[in-house]
Amino acid sequence: MPDVERLRGGVRLLTNAVSAFAEATSDYERLLSIIARSAGEVIGDICTVLLLDNGDLHTRAKYTSDPELDAYLDEMARSPIRAGEPSAAWNVLSTGQPLFVPKLDLPSLQGRMAPRNYELFARLGVHSLVIVPMRVRGEPVGLIAIWRYRPERSSFDELDLELAQDLASHAALAIANAQLVDALRESEALRKAEQEVTRAHRFLDAIIEHIPDMVFVKDATNLAFTRFNRAGEELIGVSRADLLGKTDYDLFSAKDAAFFQAKDRETLASKQLLEIPEEPIRTPRGERWLHTKKVPILDLDGSPLYLLGISQDITDRKRADEELRAAKEHAEAVGKELEAFSYSVAHDLRTPLRGIDGFSQALLEDYGDKLDDVGRRYLARVREAAQRMAILIDDLLALSRVTRAELVSERVDLTALAQASIHRLQRLEPDRTVEVVIEPDLSVEGDPRLLSIALDNLFGNAWKFTGKVPAPRIELGSARDERGRSYFVRDNGAGFDPQYGHKLFGVFQRLHTEQEFPGTGIGLATVARIIHRHRGRVWAEGAPGLGATFHFTLLDPESP
């Protein structure tokens, strides 16, 4: 879940930033650099920190991952933004409200911001901007400006704004504390500032404690635990008092401990996030499976200081996946058995049917002159019944194959499939004239073989039921409503009584007699199976003598 991961990233940002702020309180310039770096690395592409000094705004720190921009930002930092100068920064500072522009319309800002800033924005192609004020006890301290200009980066959203505001709040407090340390290191004001930092730490501690996943921190040297949250205690089954200062070798088997620490060392050496999708761990509740992410926490010089780990217990999900996989394998095995059974039954049924049909034909040919008209008529009916039974068996097998066939999803030209289906019908009855209208450029996502079968059945139905009208017409088209796009095959044929429309898609369900229109009653059932396998809907509209319209929708069968 991307939002959860970003929230966790934000928590890590705030935790690391506040810790770094506290360590750099006595080093003012380093503190400002940490603020710019913290915001720039996690939230934006470029960050500048501006402070209020003698009535003007001065750029005191910057961050960019692009070395070519350093000189340009340094030049910009040499000139302060004077009071009264048209600038979005002054508006943010004076109102105390952030400037949040997810999608920047750069020309509209010309004349409303410092010219040098506008020049930089235009040069880079800045597309997203957030400026948040830094205030302490209601008084302005400065502001943090964060920009995104890289085309591959998405625009800022509300979570980015919230992170920037939280960071600015803590940064403002850290700056105020640093100023107090410089001026009144031993004063009562310093004591109060330290209390504010402590409250901030407690706030972050409360967040970490309530994260439902295990969160732990190890020192980079000995890989001993220095931090553990409540979820970690519950998962491991050991209190944090017994965990802190210990290593994996004190808590787990030598084999497990070696595996955990090998991943730790790999993370610290690469200085990059390491993801372990499935990590087994033995706990008092038995073996559990974790999805773990490990991140190195680096010093300003890039040296690893700590290792942060977040582990999600995926045991229940893994078991559910295994159960689902076992159920799927069982269903596939049953399906194969059913398919073998179907073919066996079909073969066993075809053999006597061929015998009945063949011997009936032989009887007519060899002994027809010894039978009267009634006898010959009876034999003809026997042959018709046998042949119809063979067709039913073939249609049932086709329906079974459609139900079990593996779907191969791709982009399908529905217009081309429809044209091919109509051409096949026209070749069977070349002397028949039918007006056919097919909407051009109909493209869908689905299995081309199954969709071709569905259209063959729909057009075959329309072709058959327009056989007795003087000017037959068949149409394929599409429509769109609030539920999305749908498709339809419409004809002006015999139609049907709508009160029996629910029977149309059932196996062997027919609304017309065999004498009126031949068929087995399986074609529309096949259409319904194919559409349902594409996670779509199918329905029909019609009236006696006024034709019928069959509608269907399609969704990507491989989408979640």
pLDDT of residue 335: 61
Burial (CB < 10 A; 0-12, 13-18, 19+), residue 188, is: exposed
Q: Which residue has the tokens 């070395």?
A: 67
What is the pairing mode between strands 443-446 and 225-228? unpaired
Report DSSP state, residue 154: P
Residue in 214, 331, 375, 330 with CA at minimum distance from that of residue 283: 214
In CATH, the architecture of 408-560 is: 2-Layer Sandwich (3.30)
* Token couple for 452: 């071709």
* Token couple for 510: 């027919």
Q: What is the pLDDT along the chain (560 residues), one digit of tens a residue?
A: 456 666 666 666 667 766 766 665 667 778 788 888 888 887 888 888 988 888 888 888 888 878 777 777 777 777 788 887 777 788 888 888 999 988 888 787 777 666 777 777 788 888 898 999 988 888 888 999 998 988 888 888 888 888 888 888 888 888 877 777 666 555 565 677 678 878 887 888 888 888 888 889 999 999 999 888 888 888 888 888 888 888 989 888 888 889 999 999 999 999 999 998 888 888 777 888 889 999 999 988 889 999 998 988 888 888 888 888 888 887 767 666 666 666 666 666 667 777 777 777 777 777 778 788 888 787 777 777 676 666 666 666 665 666 666 777 889 999 999 998 899 888 888 888 889 999 999 999 988 888 888 888 889 888 888 888 889 999 999 998 888 889 999 999 887 877 766 667 755 454 444 444 444 557 788 888 888 888 898 888 888 888 889 999 987 554 44
Q: Which residue has the tokens 């089954």?
A: 237
* Token couple for 506: 């059932």
What is the residue extent of each domain of the chain? 2-207, 211-313, 316-404, 408-560
**CATH number, domain 316-404:** 1.10.287
SS3 477: strand
pLDDT of residue 10: 66
What is the pairing mode between strands 139-148 and 128-136? antiparallel
Q: Establish whether domains 2-207 and 211-313 are of one fold.
A: yes
pTM beyond 0.75, yes or no:
no
What does the alpha-carbon distance between residue 162 and residue 130 come to, in Å, rounded to a whole number? 11
pLDDT of residue 294: 92
Q: Is residue 472 within 8 Å of residue 508, measured between CB atoms?
A: no
pLDDT of residue 387: 67
Q: How far is CA 34 from CA 25, 144, 217, 301, in A?
A: 11, 12, 21, 12
**CATH number, domain 211-313:** 3.30.450.20
pLDDT of residue 391: 64
SS3 481: strand
pLDDT of residue 265: 92
Please state the three-class secondary structure of 433-453 as a single string. CCEEEECCCCEEEECHHHHHH
In CATH, the architecture of 2-207 is: 2-Layer Sandwich (3.30)
